[in-house]
Structure 1
Amino acid sequence: MRECQNLAEVRESIDQLDEQIIQLISERSQYVNQAASFKKDIDAVKAPARVEAIITKVRQLATEHQLNPTIAENVYRAMIASFIEDELQEHQRIQSTPPSSQ
């Protein structure tokens, strides 16, 4: 992290981070879509125990990185909820696609 000298530098740094964050969220999204093909039903997609395990891990990581763990939890809960909706759609698409005959 650099020490910014003015608001313009702060904003520039935030913009650069936003680009990296979006790239990482995109990569995470691709893994979530892959996961949909391994899950047998909607309950497996929702996986509340897995969600809580992620939240526990994220809160710990936040603390280790001097981030308010509540901020990390709120961001992750919103992100996970969005990913679950997306994964449910992908799961439904996969389930409704007839197997290819070879």
Structure 2
Amino acid sequence: MNTQVVCTSIDEVRANVDSIDREIVRLLAKRGGFVKQAARFKKTTDDVKAPQRVEQVITKVRTLAAEVGGNPEVTESVYRAMISAFISAELQEHADLASSR
């Protein structure tokens, strides 16, 4: 499933990576919007941290990575860092919501 573009120069590689980075950042912002909304539905900070959900997501993305020819270890590492950052943001959102009630 890996539809890799074959580049003929480092500039072409970088242009493709830059294009992907723009898409990733756009998708991170979209994901962040849903994470912010999720804080409204969670009653406790333990609900925000949701370690069982984290492991479900990790299992899912490792499988997806393998299916598309990606590296499951890299995917897991990136997702763990991303999830950690989103949990921190969601904890702050959760606290802000709690203090405004």
TM-score band w.r.t. shorter chain:
over 0.9
Give the residue type in structure 1 aligned to 2:82. M
Give the residue type in structure 2 aligned to 1:26. A
Are 1:91 and 2:94 counterparts?
yes
Q: Tell me which residue corresponds to 1:3.
A: 6
Per-residue CA shift, 1:57-83, capped at 9, x if unaligned? 000000001111000000000000000
TM-score by length of 1: 0.94
Q: Give structure 1 stretches of 5+ with no counterpart.
A: none
Where in structure 1 do 4 or more consecutive aligned residues deviate above 6 Å?
A: none
Shift of 1:2: 2.5
Size of the alignment, in residue pairs?
A: 98
Are 1:15 and 2:24 counterparts?
no
Q: Give me the CA root mean square deviation.
A: 0.7
Shift of 1:25: 0.4
Shift of 1:95: 0.6
Q: Tell me which residue corresponds to 1:72.
A: 75
Q: Give structure 2 stretches of 5+ with no counterpart.
A: none
Q: Tell me which residue corresponds to 2:52.
A: 49
Are 1:62 and 2:65 counterparts?
yes
Looking at structure 1, the residues matched to 31 and 75 of structure 2 have their Cα atoms a distance apart, in angstroms, of 16
TM-score by length of 2: 0.95
Give the residue type in structure 2 aligned to 1:61. L
> 1 or 2 for the larger relative contact order (CA 8 Å, sep ≥6)?
2
